[in-house]
Amino acid sequence: MDERRDLEAALTKIETDRIMKRISAKQTDDIRKNIQSELDACILQLDDVASKLNESTQQQKWVVWIRQFEKTYANVDNFTEEH
């Protein structure tokens, strides 16, 4: 997350440097492209982690449900029929 924030701050600084004429338009474009590429990779990585976390959470819910089902019906052979 810090990496994403750092990259976004870098993009802002690059734009500021360009406006203040500290760097040329060509340098700004090249640097922006490089930073944006890194930012895109960072965002993809964060999305991947979020997806895996969601998948893990869903699997955990399934395991909990199965355990509860097992507890509920573990002694089904001992049930008696009621008429």
* The model's pTM: 0.63
pLDDT tens column, 20-58? 999 999 999 999 999 999 999 999 999 999 999 999 999
Kindly indicate the confidence band of residue 74, based on its pLDDT and cuts at 50, 70 and 90.
confident
User: How far is it, in rounded angstroms, from Cα 78 to Cα 14?
Assistant: 74
Non-local (6+) Cβ contacts of 4 within 8 A are 39, 42, 43, 46
Position 50 scores a pLDDT of 95
Round the average pLDDT of the chain to a whole number and report it.
89
